[in-house]
């Protein structure tokens, strides 16, 4: 095991060396990001081996026998016990042993072992093995869903099925159909590089804020990007899935032998089943088709700043018709200045060393020194198409935004190359980036977790959610980083709570704040679209119309598809029958306790 200094000084792995590595064009940026992260790390590195973690309801000897059995099937090198010290690493060298950005004690969500299949057939073997020994398994694509639980299982002691390490092939890129077919270990970095290597300049890849995550993992968790193809789940076409009892299905046109439209027509014939495999624990996706965006023939990024906090209502009212009318063509992003300051990658203590939230006067004093000048809100956008088409839309946008007193259009030629604007420019052009990591350095041992409610695109709703978030952040002394991300008909408020993961008091403050926010928002009719492992039960519990009818439906599906309850128990609040109502659910009242009162005996 490397020492702390050796880990900090080791080089970032390249994509050419490792499926989870960095493309060469981002290497220097990755090196700088790693240096900044390790400079702010004060958490002691553990060196002692840990006691074995066991799956719930499984005796130690039975578990070791089961692992020996699986080792004979997959090869001993592809079955690994989780008994070594937990090493955090960082985004590009992330752990699969625990949640790197934990908001509870890091031992709460750890697997008992990690296994590495190389094919759909080996995934089937693992699933059949799990049923035979009644061992829960937790599949991940790459485990970079940081801020939502990373690689961690919801049930301590589950066996982690790390698909990405050995299942990372790009099976097809069709330059005629603008589609691709992927395995779980293909990152956005890897897909982008493959498209470029083939010379397919007419194809674009839509990428999220940071490009190191799995395309499949992000898509099945309903993550987003920032081109017109930003709704990744809407842009997928066709799945291959291993069910919890070991059968393999292909959805859509993939169910037709000899078909040639699996990636071009998502529905096939009969009920559309893909949806039950997103944000669920009903199967393991081993292949997925994805549509690619055509090169629009030109693009132009722009940004506007707005001076006053109270401009928010008017701004959202301006944005709504422009977004619905597709004048604003990509996911509209309206960010608060505090996050713009944090995105520079410097620690909070460079600006303010006091307790509580950073004061407004300090924020605006700092903002006045930055290239974009003082402001409260900044809008980042992109216009696509040839010059004359872009200009038509940009003129409309300019006229509308200039209705806000004090609105200012930023001249990109005045911005330095490392300004955050240019990272947004690249992401909105389908070029993967790393810069979004920088605001996590706001705190030592920086970690983040999100509050992300969905609302209508209305000024009154934006103000209500912003005021709600601001009040709770001030109550718990947490700096507020709000960003309004506007889709075609809905708006997501993404509030990133940044904290020192080595400080149990601050972790508790963040979790308590989030639990209040979830309930506050639900009481106003706003629900989360995605959440961390710790909050899944609470968030699922807010979707309780008609005496929890939706959850009862999910439980019927779970019991039918997964009768032994082995597949990712508890994911998105869906518990198998033998765990149900036995104290496994984590709620506001349960605190940090993630363990239930055993399992129900076999019926």
Q: What is the pLDDT of residue 591?
A: 74
Q: What is the pLDDT of residue 3?
A: 63
Q: What is the pLDDT of residue 594?
A: 84
| C-alpha to C-alpha distances, 145 to 231, 398, 548, nearest whole angstrom | 17, 36, 28
Q: What is the pLDDT of residue 249?
A: 98
Where residue 532 falls among pLDDT bands split at 50, 70, 90?
Answer: very high
Pairing label, strands 137-140, 159-162: parallel
Average pLDDT (591-603) is 84
- The pair of structure tokens assigned to 482 is 């709000």
Q: CB–CB of 600/577 below 8 Å?
A: yes
Q: CB–CB of 536/573 below 8 Å?
A: yes
Ramachandran sector of residue 247 (left: φ over 0; alpha: ψ -120 to 50; beta: rest): beta
Report the SS3 class of residue 25. helix
**Which member of 91, 116, 133, 148 is catalytic?**
148
User: pLDDT tens, 87-123?
Assistant: 999 999 999 999 999 999 999 999 999 999 999 999 9
Q: Which one-letter DSSP state was computed for residue 101?
A: T
* Torsional sign, CA 412, 342, 381, 320: negative
**Which member of 530, 571, 579, 580 is catalytic?**
530
Percent of the chain residues past pLDDT 70, beyond the cut: 99
User: pLDDT tens, 471-511?
Assistant: 999 999 999 999 999 998 999 999 999 999 999 999 999 99
User: pLDDT tens, 451-473?
Assistant: 999 999 999 999 999 999 999 99
- The pair of structure tokens assigned to 188 is 């956005």
Q: What is the pLDDT of residue 113?
A: 98
Q: What is the pLDDT of residue 44?
A: 84
User: What does the alpha-carbon distance between residue 279 and residue 165 come to, in Å, rounded to a whole number?
Assistant: 22
How many other C-beta atoms are found inside a 10 Å radius of the C-beta of residue 568? 26
**Which member of 200, 351, 352, 529 is catalytic?**
529
How many other C-beta atoms are found inside a 10 Å radius of the C-beta of residue 39? 11
Q: What is the pLDDT of residue 77?
A: 98
Q: Which one-letter DSSP state was computed for residue 14?
A: B
Q: Does the pLDDT at position 582 exceed 90?
A: yes
**Three-point CA angle 199, 200, 203, nearest 5°:** 150
Percent of the chain residues past pLDDT 90, beyond the cut: 94
pLDDT, averaged across the chain: 96
Residues paired with 299 in a beta bridge: 384
Longest CA span, the chain: 72
Where residue 588 falls among pLDDT bands split at 50, 70, 90?
Answer: confident
Q: What is the pLDDT of residue 437?
A: 87
Q: What is the pLDDT of residue 603?
A: 72
Q: Does the pLDDT at position 4 exceed 70?
A: no
User: What does the alpha-carbon distance between residue 239 and residue 177 come to, in Å, rounded to a whole number?
Assistant: 17
User: pLDDT tens, 348-378?
Assistant: 999 999 999 999 999 999 999 999 999 999 9
Where b means 16+ CB within 10 Å and e means fewer, 505-539 reads ebbbbbbebbbbbbebbbeeebebbbbbbbbbbbb
Q: What is the pLDDT of residue 5?
A: 67
**What is the pTM assigned to this prediction?**
0.97
Q: What is the pLDDT of residue 546?
A: 98
User: pLDDT tens, 129-181?
Assistant: 999 999 999 999 999 999 999 999 999 999 999 999 999 999 999 999 999 99
Q: CB–CB of 300/394 below 8 Å?
A: yes
Provide the strand spans (E) within 272-400.
Answer: 284-291, 293-294, 299-306, 332-336, 377-384
Q: CB–CB of 584/575 below 8 Å?
A: yes
User: pLDDT tens, 408-448?
Assistant: 999 999 999 999 999 999 999 999 999 998 999 999 999 99
**CA neighbours closer than 13 Å in the CB half-sphere of residue 290:** 36
User: pLDDT tens, 560-573?
Assistant: 999 999 999 999 99
- The pair of structure tokens assigned to 35 is 């240096």
* Torsional sign, CA 555, 561, 562, 564: positive
Lowest mean pLDDT of 31-40, 71-80, 186-195, name the range: 31-40
User: What does the alpha-carbon distance between residue 242 and residue 240 come to, in Å, rounded to a whole number?
Assistant: 7
Tell me the Cα Rg of the chain: 24
User: What does the alpha-carbon distance between residue 43 and residue 48 come to, in Å, rounded to a whole number?
Assistant: 15
Residue 515 catalytic?
Answer: no
User: What does the alpha-carbon distance between residue 67 and residue 81 come to, in Å, rounded to a whole number?
Assistant: 9
User: What does the alpha-carbon distance between residue 97 and residue 157 come to, in Å, rounded to a whole number?
Assistant: 11
Where b means 16+ CB within 10 Å and e means fewer, 305-315 reads bbbeeebbebb
Where b means 16+ CB within 10 Å and e means fewer, 82-92 reads beeebbbbbbb
How many other C-beta atoms are found inside a 10 Å radius of the C-beta of residue 103? 27
Residue 529 catalytic?
Answer: yes
Where residue 43 falls among pLDDT bands split at 50, 70, 90?
Answer: confident
* Torsional sign, CA 515, 519, 521, 522: positive
Q: Does the pLDDT at position 1 exceed 60?
A: no
């Amino acid at each position: 095991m490397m020492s702390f200094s050796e880990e900090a000084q080791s080089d970032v792995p390249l994509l050419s060396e490792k499926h989870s590595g960095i493309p060469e064009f981002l290497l220097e940026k990755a090196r700088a990001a790693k240096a900044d992260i390790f400079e702010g790390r004060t958490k002691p590195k553990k060196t002692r081996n840990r006691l074995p973690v066991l799956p719930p309801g499984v005796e130690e000897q039975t578990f070791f026998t089961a692992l020996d059995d699986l080792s004979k099937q997959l090869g001993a090198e592809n079955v690994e016990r989780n008994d070594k010290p937990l090493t955090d690493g960082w985004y590009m060298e992330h752990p699969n042993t625990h949640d790197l950005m934990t908001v509870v004690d890091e031992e709460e969500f750890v697997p008992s072992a990690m296994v590495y299949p190389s094919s759909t057939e080996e995934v089937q073997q693992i699933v059949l093995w799990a049923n035979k020994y009644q061992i829960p398994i937790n599949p991940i694509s790459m485990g970079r869903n940081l801020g939502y639980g990373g690689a961690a299982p919801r049930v301590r002691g589950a066996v982690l099925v790390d698909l990405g390490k050995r299942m990372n092939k790009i099976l097809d890129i069709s330059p005629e159909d603008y589609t691709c077919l992927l395995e779980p270990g293909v990152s956005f970095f890897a897909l982008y590089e493959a498209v470029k290597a083939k010379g397919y300049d007419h194809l674009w890849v839509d990428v999220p804020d940071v490009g190191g995550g799995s395309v499949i993992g992000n898509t099945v968790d309903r993550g987003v990007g920032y081109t017109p193809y930003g709704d990744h789940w809407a842009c997928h076409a066709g799945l291959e899935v291993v069910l919890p009892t070991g059968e393999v299905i292909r959805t859509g046109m993939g169910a037709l032998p000899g078909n040639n439209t699996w990636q071009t027509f998502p529905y096939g014939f009969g009920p559309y089943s893909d949806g039950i495999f997103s944000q669920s624990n009903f199967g393991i996706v081993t292949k997925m088709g994805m549509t690619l965006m055509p090169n629009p023939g030109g693009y132009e990024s722009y940004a506007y700043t707005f001076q006053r906090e109270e401009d928010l209502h008017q701004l959202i009212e301006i944005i709504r018709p422009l977004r619905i009318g597709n004048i604003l063509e990509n996911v509209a992003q309206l960010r608060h200045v505090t996050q713009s300051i944090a995105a520079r990658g410097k620690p909070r203590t460079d600006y303010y060393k006091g307790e509580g939230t950073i004061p407004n006067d300090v924020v605006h004093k700092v903002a006045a020194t930055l290239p974009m000048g003082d402001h409260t809100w900044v809008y980042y956008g992109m216009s696509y198409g040839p010059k004359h088409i872009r200009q038509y839309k940009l003129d409309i946008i300019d006229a509308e935004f200039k209705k806000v007193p004090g609105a200012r259009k930023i001249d990109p030629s005045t911005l330095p190359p490392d300004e955050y604007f240019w990272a947004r420019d690249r992401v909105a052009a389908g070029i993967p980036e790393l810069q979004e990591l920088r605001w996590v350095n706001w705190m030592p041992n920086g970690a983040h977790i999100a509050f992300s409610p969905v609302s209508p695109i209305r000024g009154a709703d934006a103000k209500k959610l912003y005021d709600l978030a601001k009040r709770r952040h001030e109550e718990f002394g947490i700096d507020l980083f709000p960003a309004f991300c506007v889709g075609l008909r809905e708006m997501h408020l993404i509030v990133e709570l940044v904290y020192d993961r080595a400080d149990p008091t601050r972790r508790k403050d963040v979790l308590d704040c989030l639990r209040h926010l979830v309930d506050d928002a639900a009481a106003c009719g706003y629900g989360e679209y995605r959440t961390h492992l710790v909050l899944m039960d609470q968030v699922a519990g807010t979707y309780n119309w008609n005496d929890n009818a939706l959850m009862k439906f999910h439980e019927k599906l779970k019991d039918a598809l997964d009768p032994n309850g082995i597949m990712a128990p508890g994911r998105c609040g869906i518990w198998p029958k033998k765990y149900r109502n036995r104290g496994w659910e984590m709620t506001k009242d349960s605190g940090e306790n993630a363990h239930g009162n055993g399992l129900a005996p076999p019926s």
